[in-house]
């Protein structure tokens, strides 16, 4: 069954809105941040990574963002251009705000953490004047990252984009993407996440992120109850992720589909979610069955946690397909399906 209708006549397959940052990942990993001395620079930020992931899979992306007016701003904009991502709605900050820096700590295959520098940050300077209806009308879908709702003026820009998407019959994907930085309280978070989730056609998040999202509405729900809550609002597909336990997509017709992670030797514990999202959304845009979207997303996530970077390591379609085929040959046809 096809749950989302995408307008095939629109120019962009997906237009994300939100943060573009710089990731600094240690080359001398399996050490603490205090012990690491050498880092490699990558483009980062969940919506940016998703755009790159979809571009590598052959889709055309737009983007709404603010970036710093400096060399790092040049770097991320040029990176997008090389990936074929439209940069016409990526604008420079005017008051010296800088791109966020994310230092990652890779202590072991199972233990990683991140340290974000997000004071006076460029991505949260996106404002309502940066959002135009015509660009959204050119997009088959709009993706809003939850981080964009953390502060003004970005939160108003995100909400304007959400309202214009509804006005123009543009499906909305809400990637909850919770980061503690910039939020003043869980109640504030619950207000804005609740608004976005209530208007989204597809919601992606971890169990913990859903708990935060519905904390002011109906706390303490099970996965099935959570899906039913958001289906009663607007959502057609609710994806709940449980890390190494796998993920489940709940659809508005009462069905659920579950996959487990593909077996792989991990390098790090972060980055998989963005690979998962881009590959899952690729499947949706292609009109696949939900279980196949989940399998493709799960495979991409495994490839990402085995690599040093996120954006730089986003795979193409052949790489994901070959990896799935190889795993099934080694472990059996239903290796990722619960």
Q: What is the pLDDT of residue 112?
A: 85
- Report angle CA 317, 319, 322 to the nearest 5 degrees: 105
pLDDT of residue 303: 95
- 337 strand-pairing partners: 259
The pLDDT of residue 181 is above 80: yes
> What would the mean pLDDT of 140-167 be, rounded to a whole number?
98
Q: Please compute the mean of the pLDDT values over residues 226-253 and round it to a whole number.
A: 96
Q: What is the pLDDT of residues 58-69, one digit of tens each?
A: 999 999 999 999
What is the b/e burial string over 190-215, where b = at least 16 CB atoms within 10 angstroms of the residue's CB? bebbbbbbbbbbbbbbbeebbbbbbb
Confidence of residue 19 (pLDDT cuts 50, 70, 90): very high
Residue 153 preceded by cis peptide, ω within 30: yes
Percentage of residues in the chain having pLDDT higher than 90: 87
pLDDT of residue 229: 98
Q: How far does CA 286 lie from the centroid of its chain?
A: 18
Alpha-carbon 186 to chain mean position:
21
- pLDDT at residue number 113: 86
Q: What is the pLDDT of residues 268-323, one digit of tens each?
A: 878 889 999 999 999 999 999 999 999 999 999 999 999 989 999 999 999 999 99
Cα angle 76, 298, 41 (rounded to 5 degrees) comes to 25
Mean pLDDT of the chain: 95
Is the model's pLDDT at 1 over the cut of 80? no
- As a whole number, mean pLDDT of residues 182-199 equals 96
């Amino acid at each position: 069954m096809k749950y989302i209708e995408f307008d095939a006549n629109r120019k962009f397959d997906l237009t994300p809105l939100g943060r573009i940052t710089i990731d600094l990942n240690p080359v001398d990993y399996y050490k603490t941040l205090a012990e690491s001395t050498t880092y490699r620079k990558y483009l980062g930020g969940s919506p940016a990574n998703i755009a790159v992931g979809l571009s590598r899979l052959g889709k055309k992306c737009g983007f709404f963002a603010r970036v710093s007016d400096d060399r790092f701003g040049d770097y991320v904009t040029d990176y997008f251009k090389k990936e074929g991502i439209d940069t016409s709605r990526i604008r420079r900050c005017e008051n010296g705000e800088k791109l966020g820096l994310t230092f990652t700590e890779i202590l072991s295959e199972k233990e990683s953490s991140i340290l974000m520098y997000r004071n006076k940050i460029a991505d949260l300077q996106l404002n309502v004047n940066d959002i135009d209806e015509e660009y959204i009308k050119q997009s088959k879908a709009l993706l809003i990252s939850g981080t964009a709702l953390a502060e003004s003026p970005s939160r108003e820009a995100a909400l304007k984009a959400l309202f214009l998407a509804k006005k123009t019959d543009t499906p909305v994907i809400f990637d909850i993407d919770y980061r503690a930085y910039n939020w003043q309280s869980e109640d504030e978070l619950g207000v804005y996440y609740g608004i976005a989730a209530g208007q989204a056609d597809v919601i992606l998040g971890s169990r913990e992120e859903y708990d935060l999202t519905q904390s002011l509405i109906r706390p303490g729900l099970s996965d099935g109850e959570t899906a039913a809550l958001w289906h009663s609002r607007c959502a057609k597909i609710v994806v709940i992720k449980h890390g190494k336990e796998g993920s489940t997509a709940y659809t508005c017709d009462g069905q659920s589909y579950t996959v487990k992670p593909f077996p792989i030797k991990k390098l790090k514990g972060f980055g998989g979610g963005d690979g998962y999202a881009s590959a899952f959304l690729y499947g949706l845009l292609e009109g696949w069955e939900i279980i196949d979207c989940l399998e493709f997303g799960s495979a991409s996530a495994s490839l990402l946690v085995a690599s040093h970077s996120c954006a730089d390591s986003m795979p193409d379609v052949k790489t994901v397909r070959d990896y799935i085929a190889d795993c099934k040959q080694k472990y059996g046809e239903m290796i990722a399906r619960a």
